[in-house]
Structure formats: structure tokens, C-alpha cells
């Protein structure tokens, strides 16, 4: 086991820090999965061990999200971008239009991918404000849309939709990659939601997709290659191709960790962590927050800028001395970005805030 005193405090946006107990159990499973005499890397994906593991993971997601048998849950390997393709392939006719709320890089990329398959409508966008706030949704947007897609948390610029947008009769689809299971949310409001695992749910190489059954019935194309066909993936129960058993297992461990803590306590901790950090930035003469509107600020990714290169140099040195890593802003945004996913402790955030206050 990695010594805790040498372990870095990783505020990276994903792959993100995992709890030590999850890392320990995952490493034990690499040597011997559940006393099966086989490594998790060796178990057959269609065998009972893997089947039971995937079923447990699916049941736990349904329980934690409060969704029942009206949803299918599947596990996919191609990350967020695979879903940017699969969703329009399955639910957007070439002559139909999908709506998008553009609050950052990833929502825009999802729209650009959808445009390969059908028409897209930018219902609202905060791009003119360089994504430093959420866009205002027009009350009278078209109800003729095949679906409305948005990104619940803007990983790169640090905004978050704390309330679920009203979409009227239009099916609502959400990319929840950077804030799934970080707070209480009515997941039943969505026709489809998805989340890559490498932030709040474990390791890269696994993506949760939950699809309402009556929405899947509306699938528009009957002629899709099985790998990109949600119905085929559902029918094969996530093992259409060789499943990434290890990544799914890490998600299972994370889900158990989340369940043991409880979503309401995770939510309270996340709010506390972000308030500690924002307060130190707001109070500091040396840093400016990227998102001024407090109601739009993300509890998951906090973005800020140093006021001059001297501050930047001193901050970088202090972070290095304190074993802190992963705080550089995204290459398209610059500055700093601190990610406060579920596994980041309050103590880690307090340490960073004290460093900010000391500059
Ligand atoms: N959506 C969001 C909200 C993200 O933060 C990211 C980046 N991890 C993606 C999608 C893209 O995910 P991937 O790199 O797995 O394609």
C-alpha cells in the first residue's frame, strides 16, 4: 500500500483522487478477486463472477440515484465522447433537431458531435461571457426538439446547474460526468443521463449510462452497428464486447463508499469544501475567482487566477512543498482549477485555503 505520507493531494479534474480504502481493495482484487483464485483482470466477462459484479453495480446506482425499474443502466467504455455520438445516433433523426444548453467546453463539444447526425439548436449559451456564468434559458424555446442536452457541471470553467432546467415536453438528457452523486438530485426527471467514472465514480474506462425505458422505445434508427446501438447494449447487459471488469469493479467500490457515507453527508461536505475554498479566494488580494456569480459556482471545480506572476510563482512553490498537485487550469482556460470531487477531504481543502490566505 502506498504510504499515506508520500501520497500526493491530487486536485486534478479527472482522473481524480480515490479514497485509500478503495485503492487498497482494488489492488487486492488485482491479486485475487473475492477469493476466486483469479485476478479481476482475468475473470471472464460472461462468467458469473463478472455478471454478479455488474449487476451489483447497476443495483447500487439505481438505489443511490433513486431510479427504479423504469430505467436501464449500462456500462460503456468509450468515455463521454462515445456518448456524444451514441445519443444522437440513437435519438436524433437526420431531419430532426436536438437542443443544447451551452455552458462550457463539453456541452459545446456534445453539440458539435450531434451535428454529424442531425440538426442542432443552441437554445442558450454563455460562450459570449467566456463561460463565466450559466446561460439564461428562454422560456419559449421550441418544444419540437428531439431532446434537450445539457452538462450539469462545467468541469473546465467551474459553473454548475444547481437546479434541473425545465424542459417542458422535451426529453431531458444530461452529461453528469463531473458531478454525479455529489449532491441530492431528482434523477427521475431525466430521459437519459450519463457520467464518465474517472471523477466521482472510480477509474477511466467506464461510463455509466442510464436510459428511461420508454425513451429507449423512441430510438430512431433501427439500423445501427450493435456497438453503437443502445438496445443491443441493453440486451447484452453491458457485455456485448469484453467488459472492462476492473474499471467497473472500481466503480462498485466507489458506489459502496458513497453509500456508506450517504449522499446527504457527501453533499454537505462538498458544499463545505467549496465554501472554504471560495471564501479564501474571495478574501484574498492575490487571486480572483473566475465565476463571480455565487449562484452559478460549481461545488466540484473551482477556477481562479493569480493577480500577477509573482503570486503565481509563490503559490506554485508552496503547493509543491505541501505535496499538492493537479491544480493547473485546463489548457483552454489557464489559471488554476481545483477539483473537489467526493474523495477529496475537508482537511485537504483547508490546507489549500491556508496556503491561498498566506499569499
Ligand atoms: N463531459 C464532461 C463534463 C467532462 O468533464 C469530460 C472530460 N472528462 C468529458 C465529457 C469527456 O470525457 P472523455 O474524456 O471520457 O471523453
Cell of 114: 450531434
pLDDT of residue 78: 97
For 260, counting Cβ atoms within 10 Å of its Cβ (0-12 exposed, 13-18 middle, 19+ buried), the class is exposed
Nearest Cα residue to atom 2 of ligand 1: 177
Cell of 211: 436510459
- Into which CATH architecture does domain 262-358 fall? Alpha-Beta Complex (3.90)
List all residues 6 or more positions away from 358 whose beta carbon is below 8 Å from its beta carbon: 318
Mutate which of 104, 177, 330 for ligand 1? The one with the most ligand atoms within 8 Å of its CB, which is 177
Q: Regarding beta strands 287-289 and 148-151, do their DSSP bridges make them parallel or antiparallel, or are they unpaired? A: unpaired
Nearest CA to ligand 1 atom 7: 80
Q: Are 76 and 82 in contact, with CB atoms under 8 Å apart?
A: yes
The pTM score is 0.97
| Phi-psi label, residue 206: left if phi above 0, alpha if psi -120 to 50, beta otherwise | beta
Residue 245 DSSP code: H
175 lines ligand 1 (CB under 6 A): yes
Specify the ligand 1 atom closest to the Cα of 154.
Answer: 3
Cα–Cα distances in angstroms (integers) from residue 106 to residues 25, 88, 91, 103, in the given order: 32, 15, 19, 8
- Return the pLDDT at 142: 86
* Contact status, residue 194 vs residue 177, Cβ threshold 8 Å: yes
Query: What are the backbone angles phi and psi of residue 100, rounded to the nearest 5°?
Result: -135, 135
Which atom of ligand 1 is the closest one to the Cα of 82? 16
Q: What is the pLDDT of residue 5?
A: 60
pLDDT at 86: 97
Let me know: does 359 contact 315? Beta carbons within 8 Å. yes
Dihedral sign computed on CA atoms, order 26, 31, 35, 36: positive
- Residue bearing the CA closest to ligand 1, atom 15: 79
CA geometry: angle 195, 201, 203, nearest 5 deg: 100
| C-alpha cell belonging to residue 110 | 456534445
Cα of 170 vs centre of ligand 1, distance in Å, is: 24
- C-alpha 123/C-alpha 85 separation (Å) is 20
What confidence score (pLDDT) does residue 223 get? 87
- pLDDT, averaged per 10 consecutive residues of the chain (359 residues), comes to 72 96 98 98 97 98 96 98 98 97 98 97 98 95 94 98 96 98 97 98 97 96 90 97 97 98 97 98 98 98 98 97 96 94 96 97
Phi, psi of 68 (to 5 degrees): -110, -145
Closest residue by CA, ligand 1 atom 3: 177
Cβ–ligand 1 distance for 301 under 6 Å, the answer no
Confidence (pLDDT) at 332 = 86
For the chain, state the CA radius of gyration. 21
State if residue 83 touches ligand 1 by the CB under 6 angstroms criterion.
no
Q: Where are the domains of the chain?
A: 25-260, 262-358
Could you list the active site residues? 106, 175, 199
If one residue of 13, 87, 106, 204 were mutated to test the ligand 1 pocket, choosing by the most ligand atoms within 8 A of its CB, it would be 106
Tell me the CATH number for domain 25-260: 3.40.640.10
For residue 350, give every residue at least 6 positions away whose Cβ sits within 8 Å of its Cβ, in sequence order, or none: 276
Grid-cell match 482522473, residue found:
15
Domain pair 25-260 / 262-358, same fold: no
Answer yes or no: is the C-beta of 152 below 6 A from any ligand 1 atom.
no
d(CA 145, CA 108): 17
Amino acid at each position: 500500500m502506498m504510504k499515506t505520507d508520500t501520497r500526493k493531494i491530487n486536485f486534478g479534474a479527472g482522473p481524480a483522487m480515490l479514497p485509500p480504502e478503495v485503492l487498497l481493495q482494488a489492488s487486492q482484487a488485482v491479486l485475487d478477486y473475492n477469493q476466486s483464485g483469479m485476478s479481476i483482470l482475468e475473470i471472464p466477462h460472461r462468467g458469473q463472477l463478472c455478471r454478479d459484479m455488474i449487476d451489483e453495480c447497476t443495483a447500487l446506482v439505481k438505489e443511490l440515484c433513486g431510479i427504479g425499474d423504469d430505467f436501464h443502466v449500462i456500462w460503456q467504455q468509450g468515455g463521454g465522447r462515445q456518448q456524444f455520438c451514441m445519443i444522437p445516433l440513437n435519438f436524433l433523426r437526420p431531419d430532426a433537431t436536438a437542443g443544447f444548453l451551452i455552458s462550457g467546453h463539453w456541452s459545446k463539444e456534445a453539440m458539435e458531435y450531434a451535428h454529424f447526425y442531425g440538426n442542432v439548436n443552441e437554445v442558450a449559451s454563455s460562450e459570449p461571457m467566456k463561460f463565466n456564468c450559466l446561460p439564461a434559458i428562454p422560456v419559449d424555446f421550441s418544444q419540437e426538439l428531439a431532446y434537450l442536452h445539457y452538462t450539469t457541471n462545467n468541469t473546465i470553467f467551474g459553473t454548475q446547474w444547481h437546479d434541473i432546467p425545465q424542459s417542458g415536453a422535451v426529453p431531458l438528457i444530461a452529461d453528469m460526468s463531473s458531478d454525479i452523486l455529489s449532491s441530492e438530485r431528482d434523477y427521475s426527471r431525466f430521459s437519459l443521463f450519463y457520467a464518465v467514472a474517472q471523477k466521482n465514480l472510480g477509474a477511466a474506462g467506464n461510463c455509466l449510462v442510464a436510459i428511461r425505458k420508454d425513451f429507449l422505445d423512441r430510438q430512431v434508427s433501427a439500423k445501427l452497428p450493435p456497438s453503437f446501438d443502445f438496445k443491443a447494449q441493453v440486451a447484452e447487459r453491458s457485455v456485448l464486447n469484453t467488459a472492462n471488469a476492473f474499471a467497473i469493479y472500481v466503480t462498485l467500490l466507489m458506489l459502496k463508499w458513497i453509500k456508506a457515507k450517504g449522499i446527504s453527508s457527501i453533499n454537505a461536505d462538498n458544499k463545505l469544501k467549496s465554501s472554504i475554498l471560495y471564501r479564501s479566494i474571495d478574501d484574498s488580494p492575490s487571486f480572483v475567482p473566475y465565476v463571480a456569480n455565487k449562484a452559478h459556482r460549481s461545488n466540484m471545480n473551482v477556477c481562479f487566477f493569480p493577480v500577477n506572476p509573482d503570486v503565481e510563482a509563490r503559490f506554485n512553490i508552496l503547493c509543491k512543498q505541501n505535496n499538492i498537485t493537479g491544480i493547473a487550469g485546463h489548457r483552454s482556460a489557464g489559471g488554476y482549477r481545483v477539483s473537489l470531487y467526493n474523495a477529496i477531504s475537508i482537511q485537504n481543502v483547508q490546507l489549500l485555503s491556508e496556503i491561498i490566505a498566506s499569499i
